[in-house]
Structure 1
């Protein structure tokens, strides 16, 4: 992943996570607040209405039991209580449609059950009025309705807040104690008229007494606050409470038989029970206020906590996001700074290496200055990168110095070798002039040819070492002579057929490199084609200069190899003899290097014969005009021979003497081959009659070369005068020279023709 994406992930992932956590926490707190607020509202709404209905049903149950036990008793109190119960019921019934989705668990079911039970209240009342029900059935119905109200109390006592739930549980226990006292009162109410209690009624009374005592002493009293404890103590120490407890103890002390339930005791019980219930309701009211206040306080605290957490969480999220964005921005800047430093080093090192390759001196401190980065991990990375850059530049400088030193060493060795080769060529020239033995001359010519090839190889070494060939020409040279000079530097030169169209001349500054380029290409053509297949070399002027086409009949190359070779010719790489030591294409590197220096275009293509066709385009600025001072006969081919290659096959096709004498060895050196001679100027007068043996023709050095390729003759000791007969470029002349040489050796004398030039011919210069 890119750095921007990584930093963006580092920024977004914690930010999104924090925003999600903040949102989740805020949602949970908001949900908890909504639930507690709804539960508090339902408690404050449902609790009073359920308490009113709960108490009204209990009183109506007691009055109903009294009426059923004494039909002659007054019904006024029952009618009034029924009206109070109806009012409480009408206030309770709308709670069925109240939204209890966030309320206490089971509250909706408890309210619905209470409403369903109270729906039968009118029917039960009619049955009581009609006398069709007894005390037990009426007691059971009212107890069931009151139990439904108790379930409502139990539901609203369970909430999300633990403290409020604890307080509500105490309130539920208080209502349970009231229910037990009222149930005891209802059972006793139906026993007062008869003065006796049945076993079932006695069990109900004793169970109710034990239950409300347990609730009050074990569940309520330990959980009351100071004010409520004061009320509870005052209630338990009151006279009415003491009398009720005393009557309950007396009742529990008997077995239910013969208990006197006289009207006097009924009145005493009535007073004590009503007062006890009133005291309990007072305690219930006080505790309800405490519970409601605790619930309201819990809701307010939760609301404040919600707003505080939401605000602080949002502030923390924004702060963390901003800090993360800032830190990632700083981190990105630091990383980009190191990246820019690395990129600068990446761009600087090739430039430094290129300057070093060009021979410039490089100051390491100036190119890679010392840095003073921060003392942290990025600072250490910058220092390491700077140290790596300086080390790389130091290494490049040392390698460049070693490379330049090695190149200078190679050039120095190659130059000295070239000097020795030049001296060897001069010595061979002297030997070739002094000796005329055909076998010896053939060996000398072969040695001369090998020396010329050795000179080319030494020039290759100089070029690969970064130098340039030292062969220079001061005047233009015909292209044919350039091609012949290149041919003379090839090992298998006899297979090369040269054909030049027209008379193009080459500028003096391009003669030496062009000879070298053509010699390398001819060498490759002969080396990669099977003998005796010829290598055709054709040259002709074109619109943009002069083109030389070279075609062999070898194996050729693959398409990828042609592309690689042409790419090499277009952009020659920086030469390094140490890295190119194992490369078989050193000749192509030399060609590419020289061609790039001259601006030549070299292209390799597949040949129709299956081999390779090389096209060398010499641009127009390297093509020269024919010098006016050079006559047509001075080594320039005649018009009829201008386009005909001078090859061994053509030379041997010349007319020969009939005696079939052996010809002299063919000279293998370009323009200075043994079968190439220059015409001598004709005498002013008529030719003198020939007397005696016909003199042998004398070979004239550099006779076939134009004046621009000739070198001044060294001061060698004079030799015997040569015959004045004009040499001719034909096989017949060479054959006559051989025959006459054998005759003179047989006769033991070698006459000289009068009028011949007795001076030594000039020594040749370094040829291609």
Structure 2
């Protein structure tokens, strides 16, 4: 378990696993965030669809409110069949909103509270319709009850828009809500003016106050719309909500407000311009239709933006996942390639070192000693990189070359010493040979037995000296020369010396015997 004894692949893996795990952790966290954002945008898109379903419901309720107010007004000009048809449209729109809400997997927070409030008010619609049909309540009371339901739906729409955290969604959502409030004021003003006993003549203080408040809210919401809408949306509104009908309605509304203000102040309104219900109705519907056109554009852009953000976030999460996987594969491949390169270099170094130590260096030293090879060149380790392993291989080559050179130097030193000893032995040998030849000459001319015995002893010592020189040459690696005549003469002299010692001193015939031996040895 000692980490210093770990194998190189394990050490490399331990070094790479920490940054790899850190990169994976960071990548997973980032991908998880993008997935959560994509899910959030998916929820936002469902909320956008829910808001898109609320707009038809609000518009149908506004129309039902208008028809109900006309039925309950003094003229009662509303067609009951048209009112029943409009109530069915409201029911269908309400059912669509309920289905969309169920698909959103429930609402949370303020949106859930606003939805519960709106649902309770919508549950009271059947009773309100019965009272409208039986004319058990006044026109303004019906308008007030319908307005409560519509305002609850507008509050739900505002709460849904507040759940759009992204700036690309929150701005258009707020602008759309402001336009819906402007649209509501247009419809409410239309109902208030139509509820007057005479065309364009408001005498009821409640209606006058309601119309004035509605006009103030309308102007405020238009200001809020221009504050949050983009320059392109403002230009689109100015280009769309314009024309003769819009200008005519503005003039008629100003006239009604001016007339109502005059009556409220006790002034004479005889000079008030003529007012036509048909003109007012047509102008109000025209302006409401133009505002609805701008609302549709904003709602479509909001839907497209939410879908685009969801797609971009999902694509980014997928791209990050693929990129993380590719980076991990690349890092794994690079780690394997580097590890294989390092292990290959180490394997080559190890095998080459063992081969040099066990085979190549002993063989080279043996060849140098035997004189079969005189070159000190070596084969380099087959690692030709310039990094640390290459430097280690070159260092090993230097050690190998130095060992071979030392072996060659020692062999040369031993050879020189051997040659010196052989030379000295040969010189001594030549002197001994000369000495033996001289002694043979002396022996051949010597007649004194005692002197001749001494010469034979010297001959024997010289012979031994020559044998020692021959042995020294053999030890130095030189071949032993053959026996010469002098050596044979020395051996014969030694034998003669032994015979002479066996004869009696001064005995007769000694000289003739020695001469015979000398002649016979030669």
Query: Common fold, TM-score beyond 0.5?
Result: yes
* 1:305 to 1:78, Cα distance in 2 relative to 1, 3 A: same
Match in the other structure for 1:114: 118
Paired with 2:108 and 2:275, the residues of 1 have a C-alpha distance of 42
Match in the other structure for 2:393: 386
The answer on whether the counterparts of 2:58 and 2:150 sit within 8 Å (CA) in structure 1 is: no
Match in the other structure for 2:76: 74
Counterparts in 2 of 1:407-422, with a 5 A limit? Answer: none
Among candidates 234, 249, 256, match of residue 247 of structure 1: 256
Q: CA shift at 1:284, angstroms?
A: 3.0
Are 1:34 and 2:42 matched, yes or no? yes
Among candidates 151, 163, 171, match of residue 176 of structure 2: 171
TM-score, normalization by structure 2: 0.59
Are 1:211 and 2:227 matched, yes or no? no
Q: Secondary structure at the match of 2:257?
A: helix
* 1:235 to 1:304, Cα distance in 2 relative to 1, 3 A: farther
* 1:208 to 1:242, Cα distance in 2 relative to 1, 3 A: same
Counterparts in 2 of 1:273-672, with a 5 A limit? Answer: 273-298=280-305, 301-302=308-309, 305=312, 309=316, 312-313=319-320, 316-317=323-324, 319-344=326-351, 347=354, 350-351=357-358, 355=362, 369=380, 373-374=384-385, 379-393=386-400
Among candidates 87, 90, 100, match of residue 88 of structure 1: 90
Higher helix content, 1 or 2: 2
Please, which moves more after superposition, 181-190 or 137-146?
Answer: 181-190
Q: CA shift at 1:58, angstroms?
A: 3.5
- Provide, for residues 182-221 of structure 1, a one-character-per-residue CA deviation record: whole Å limited to 9, x for no partner: 33444555554796233x5544332211111232355259
Paired with 1:310 and 1:401, the residues of 2 have a C-alpha distance of 71
* 1:295 to 1:191, Cα distance in 2 relative to 1, 3 A: closer
Match in the other structure for 1:556: none
* 1:77 to 1:223, Cα distance in 2 relative to 1, 3 A: farther
Q: Which runs of 5+ in 1 are unaligned?
A: 406-768
The answer on whether the counterparts of 1:38 and 1:103 sit within 8 Å (CA) in structure 2 is: no
Q: CA shift at 1:330, angstroms?
A: 2.0
- Provide, for residues 120-140 of structure 1, a one-character-per-residue CA deviation record: whole Å limited to 9, x for no partner: 233345556777656675454
Match in the other structure for 2:152: 148
TM-score, normalization by structure 1: 0.42
The answer on whether the counterparts of 1:107 and 1:152 sit within 8 Å (CA) in structure 2 is: yes
Q: CA shift at 1:370, angstroms?
A: 6.1
* 1:249 to 1:76, Cα distance in 2 relative to 1, 3 A: closer
The answer on whether the counterparts of 1:153 and 1:172 sit within 8 Å (CA) in structure 2 is: yes
Paired with 2:26 and 2:78, the residues of 1 have a C-alpha distance of 70
Q: CA shift at 1:110, angstroms?
A: 3.8
Paired with 1:364 and 1:118, the residues of 2 have a C-alpha distance of 110
Number of residue pairs aligned between Structure 1 and Structure 2: 397
The answer on whether the counterparts of 1:19 and 1:317 sit within 8 Å (CA) in structure 2 is: yes
Q: CA shift at 1:145, angstroms?
A: 0.9
Paired with 2:263 and 2:215, the residues of 1 have a C-alpha distance of 15
Match in the other structure for 2:428: none
* 1:141 to 1:281, Cα distance in 2 relative to 1, 3 A: same
Paired with 2:328 and 2:47, the residues of 1 have a C-alpha distance of 37
* 1:364 to 1:322, Cα distance in 2 relative to 1, 3 A: farther
Paired with 2:222 and 2:109, the residues of 1 have a C-alpha distance of 26
The answer on whether the counterparts of 2:249 and 2:284 sit within 8 Å (CA) in structure 1 is: no
* 1:261 to 1:136, Cα distance in 2 relative to 1, 3 A: farther
* 1:346 to 1:125, Cα distance in 2 relative to 1, 3 A: same
Please, which moves more after superposition, 11-20 or 354-363?
Answer: 354-363
Paired with 1:365 and 1:326, the residues of 2 have a C-alpha distance of 43
The answer on whether the counterparts of 1:353 and 1:396 sit within 8 Å (CA) in structure 2 is: no
Q: Secondary structure at the match of 1:74?
A: coil
- Provide, for residues 576-606 of structure 1, a one-character-per-residue CA deviation record: whole Å limited to 9, x for no partner: xxxxxxxxxxxxxxxxxxxxxxxxxxxxxxx
Q: CA shift at 1:77, angstroms?
A: 4.5
The answer on whether the counterparts of 1:62 and 1:185 sit within 8 Å (CA) in structure 2 is: no
Paired with 2:332 and 2:393, the residues of 1 have a C-alpha distance of 29
Match in the other structure for 2:186: 181
The answer on whether the counterparts of 1:178 and 1:277 sit within 8 Å (CA) in structure 2 is: no
The answer on whether the counterparts of 1:36 and 1:299 sit within 8 Å (CA) in structure 2 is: yes
Higher strand content, 1 or 2: 1
- Provide, for residues 442-470 of structure 1, a one-character-per-residue CA deviation record: whole Å limited to 9, x for no partner: xxxxxxxxxxxxxxxxxxxxxxxxxxxxx
Q: CA shift at 1:329, angstroms?
A: 2.6
